[in-house]
Amino acid sequence: MSAEESPAPGGAHDFIRAIVADDAAAGRVSTVVTRFPPEPNGYLHIGHAKSMCLNFGIGGEFAGRCHLRFDDTNPVREEQEYIEAIQEDVRWLGFEWGEHLYFASDHFEQLYDWAEHLIRNGDAYVDSQSVDDMREARGTWNAPGRDSPWRNRSPTDNLDLFRRMRAGEFPDGAHVLRAKIDMASGNMNMRDPVLYRILHAHHPRTGTTWCIYPTYDYAHGQSDAIEGVTHSLCTLEFEDHRPLYDWLIDHLPVPRVPRQYEFARLNLASTVLSKRALIALVRDGHVNGWDDPRMPTLRGMRRRGIPPQAIREFISRVGVARADNLVDPAMLDNCVRAHLNLTAPRRMAVLRPLKVVIETWPEDQTDELQAINNPEDEGAGHRPLLFTRTLYIERDDFMEDPPRKFFRLAPGREVRLRHGYFITCREFVKDADGDIVELRCTHDPATRGGGSPDGRKVKGTLHWVSADHAVSADVRLYDRLFTTETPGSGGDIIADLNPDSCVVLDDCRVEPAVLDAAPGEVLQFERQGYFCVDVDSTSERPVFNRTVGLRDSWARVRRNTP
């Protein structure tokens, strides 16, 4: 653990909170202001959740505020649809920006004026090299760059050209505005970085008002300054941009001085968090859209049934540091289970049904049993559960010739049906293919409700549903989208897709009480896991997405692999 990562003074639990606490205590800032700055070119994913939890978290903890700022400086890739979806997702995660919604494009006029200020002071010039020449003259990590032949244009010529760029006199790529810093700098970002480029593109907010757009590096720090952001928190890949961030702030008459700090981005094993990769998965049909429950997007996770509280808890457990690491998704699963265990109503659902006839039960008799809805939440109450002569149990819960440690049903064996009776298997029926299609059982009337009057022990308790009352349902069993820890590290991300990431079971039987749940609600199917009612459900046929199993089945797989 480096000094930076050790527990921070004053109860702050990471190095950034320690810096903020220090600045507040020393009076260097009066109101702590942070911002979450998404680019509206895709949907938010769990990596963004880390940034949101940090920025909105600090804004709240220090009685300051956090702005939602769209970094809409590249009209070619940005869309109104994303602007709306991002706001919905930020709110869903539990964060609120109040009146502090901003767009980099709100600041375009001020940014333009400041660009003229740089030009007038000889700190920026219009470069008219071709893109290729510019790239070539930039040098490499080992070799310094070369000055552009246009580097010493006079401020008057630069101003004239820049105004004509704005007026739309030139095609895309004809000129750029560059900061005049140092073509020999060891930091590539300081080799006369581009501040403005010509883009004749329709902008989702400013339409065709502009045909020159500021770059991220130019817009970001200045937007921070305009909005009064005190701590501009970004991921580590911007560390090398910090000298430029500070240079621009130093060379402009900004009203306030923000500071940039970097932290490690969230990397989650067995998934991808790059928007480019996610866009490709959607575009090429490897998943069913941005809200596919296998996607690491917030909308995918929402559709899968993952509660926002579990995501926030997960992010808090991951912590904030500067060291890069790869987080095991099992950690998120555990947070999801911990939350849903407290909130999800228990229900019985048979995913792969096997018919059971209770021979000792009269044809027309129905027993209304009581089942507890959630042992973790007394207030959740009870529900009726109907017991009839014909039931379904899980196919896997019967074996004709079981191994020694199989504690479920087998010929001659007795098990408890959850909330029901003890039953004993007397016979089984096979079809022409030799598959078991029906069990013939007897029941013990003295065991109603699942109790054992004579202290007789049964090892197994099975879930079941009444064949007469059960509802047919589709259940989608989701698994990790990729089979490898670092998808694409072998060169081809598609080759690492898990072919079994979605298995649809279309002959499930669920107890009728599940019909009370609305889309988005999560139930625990006893012994199986947590399942979320999907929006594809109809009133006749519910559809469920498996959120997560009850245990970490992947840990078992990993332990068993040499």
Question: What amino acid is encoded at 52 in this protein?
Answer: M
Judged by CB under 6 A, which stretch of 48-56, 88-96, 204-212, 357-365 contacts ligand ATP?
Answer: 48-56
DSSP bridge pairs for 234: 262
- 265 is an interface residue for ligand ATP by CB under 6 A: yes
| DSSP 3-state of 132 | helix
* Site mask for ligand ATP (CB under 6 A), range 71-110, x = bound: x---------------------------------------
Q: Please report the beta strands in 31-84, taking only residues with DSSP state E, as ranges in sequence order.
A: 33-36, 65-70
Question: Which of 299/476 has CB closer to ligand ATP?
Answer: 299
Residue type, 172: D
Q: How far is the CB of 277 from ligand ATP (least distance, A)?
A: 8
- Residues 416, 451 contacting (CB under 8 angstroms): no
Beta carbon nearer to ligand ATP, 111 or 119: 111
275 binds ligand ATP (CB under 6 A): yes
- The residue to which tokens 């911002």 are assigned: 35
Among 38, 420, 487, 529, binds ligand ATP (CB under 6 A): 38
Surface-to-core class of residue 53, CB atoms within 10 Å of its CB (0-12 exposed, 13-18 middle, 19+ buried): buried
Chain Cα centroid distance, residue 161? 45
Q: Smallest distance from the beta carbon of 498 to ligand ATP, in angstroms?
A: 21
Angle 108-120/155-167 helices, nearest 10 degrees? 160
C-alpha to C-alpha distances, 466 to 3, 212, 346, 388, 485, nearest whole angstrom: 62, 68, 16, 6, 42
**Residue placing its CB nearer to ligand ATP in the complex, 296 or 529:** 296
Alpha carbon 479 to chain centroid, angstroms: 15
Catalytic residue among 146, 265, 322, 418: 265
Q: Footprint of ligand ATP on residues 228-247 (CB under 6 A)?
A: 234-235
d(CA 17, CA 8): 8
Q: Indicate the residue among 232 and 528 with the shorter CB distance to ligand ATP.
A: 232
Other beta carbons within 10 angstroms of residue 435's beta carbon come to 10
Catalytic, 459? Answer: no
Give whichever of 43 and 478 is closer to ligand ATP, judged by the CB atom.
43
Of these, 174, 201, 269, 273, which contacts ligand ATP (CB under 6 A)?
A: 273
Is 553 a binding residue for ligand ATP by CB under 6 A? The answer is no
Task: Give the number of residues written for the chain.
Answer: 562
CA 220 – CA 235 distance, rounded (Å): 14
Q: Which stretch binds ligand ATP (CB under 6 A): 34-42, 241-249, 350-358, 476-484?
A: 34-42
Q: Which of 265, 270, 272, 271 is nearest to 318 (CA)?
A: 265
- Told to check if 47 binds ligand ATP by CB under 6 A, we report yes
Stretch that binds ligand ATP, among 114-122, 196-204, 269-277, 337-345 (CB under 6 A): 269-277
Residue 108 CB neighbour total at 10 angstroms: 21
Q: Which of 65, 69, 275, 299 is catalytic?
A: 275
Q: Is 430 marked active-site? A: no
Phi, psi of 547 (to 5 degrees): -75, -55
Kindly state whether residue 39 participates in binding ligand ATP, applying the rule CB under 6 A: yes
Rounded CA-CA distance 551/529 in Å is 8
Asked if residue 312 binds ligand ATP (CB under 6 A), the reply is no
| Binding mask of the shown chain, residues 164 to 203, with x at each position contacting ligand ATP by CB under 6 A | ----------------------------------------
The only residue of 121, 130, 274, 452 in contact with ligand ATP, by rule CB under 6 A? 274
Residue 265 bears catalytic tag: yes
Q: Which residues bind ligand ATP (CB under 6 A)?
A: 37-39, 47-48, 50-51, 71, 234-235, 265-266, 273-275
* Active site residues per annotation: 39, 265, 275
